[in-house]
Amino acid sequence: MTARAVVVAAPSSGSGKTTVATGLMAALRRRGTAVAPFKVGPDYIDPGYHTLAAGRPGRNLDPVLVGADRVAPLARHGAAGAQIAVVEGVMGLFDGRLADGEGSTAQVAGLLGAPVVLVVDCKGQSRSLAALLHGFRSFDPTLRVAGVVLNRVGSERHETVLRAAADEVGLPVFGALPRHDALVVPSRHLGLVTAVEHGVAATAAVDAMAELVAAHVDLDAVLTAAAPLPPGPAWSPEVAEPAPGRPRVVIFGGPAFTFGYAEHGELVAAAGAEVVVLDPLHAESLPEGTAALVLPGGFPEEHVGALGANAALRSDVAALAAAGAPLHAECGGLLYLCEALDGAPMCGVLPAAAAMTGRLTLGYRDAVALTASPLFEAGERVAGHEFHHCAVEPRAGSAPAWAWRGAEPEGFVRNGVHASFLHSHPAGRPDAVARFVAAAGSRSSANRHTVE
- Burial state string for 187-204 with b = 16 or more CB within 10 A and e = fewer than 16: eeebebbbbbbbeeebee
Chain centroid to Cα 262, Å, comes to 9
**331 catalytic, yes or no?**
yes
| Three-state DSSP state, 276 | strand
Measure the CA–CA gap between 366 and 67, rounded to whole angstroms: 13
Write down the catalytic residue from 122, 331, 338, 390.
331
Measure the CA–CA gap between 219 and 296, rounded to whole angstroms: 36
Contacts of 136 (CB under 8 A, 6+ apart): 11, 93, 118, 145
Measure the CA–CA gap between 165 and 122, rounded to whole angstroms: 11
Number of C-beta neighbours around residue 446 at 10 A: 12
Contacts of 452 (CB under 8 A, 6+ apart): none
Chain centroid to Cα 171, Å, comes to 32
Measure the CA–CA gap between 19 and 205, rounded to whole angstroms: 9
Q: Which residues are catalytic?
A: 331
